[in-house]
Amino acid sequence: MADTQLACPPASVPGLVLLAHGSRDAQWRRPMEAVQAAVRAAQPALACSCAYLEACAPDLPTAVAALVRGGANHITVLPLFLGTGKHAREDIPRLVEQLRQQHPGCRFELQTAVGEHPRVTQLLAQLAIEQTLADRA
């Protein structure tokens, strides 16, 4: 009787891409890179990369390819956008679908724009109130 081995699915190795719009102004990237640094500080074992839709590098396919080369096979794409405009509704889902085709061994999770999260809304409101009241003091 032949030994029959059941193939176990590979372990899920997470990766995170912080996806932002992009700008030619190098200073514009600082807040995105600060988020990346905070993620790395909080979760040093989590592979995390920034990516940009236009005007600066790396783009999303390049960032994902680097994560895959590093062993990630379950990649979350988090759009660092305040709202769900055309990029978040159409362009990013199309790019993620292309990545699914290019990396069939990977699982991709596309999150909603961070600005749509209630905690971000509350934080922005709190900052607005604090700044307004601080300016009056």
How confident is the model over 111-135, as pLDDT tens digits? 999 999 999 999 999 999 999 998 7
How confident is the model over 75-94, as pLDDT tens digits? 999 999 999 999 999 999 99
Distance CA 125, CA 25 (A): 27
- Number of domain units in the chain: 1
Residue ranges of E strands in 1-137: 14-20, 47-52, 74-79, 107-110
Please check whether residue 31 is in contact with residue 50, taking contact to mean a CB–CB distance below 8 angstroms: no
The CATH number of whichever domain residue 48 belongs to comes to 3.40.50.1400
Domain presence at residue 52: yes
The angle that helices 60-69 and 92-102 make with each other, rounded to 10 degrees, is 40
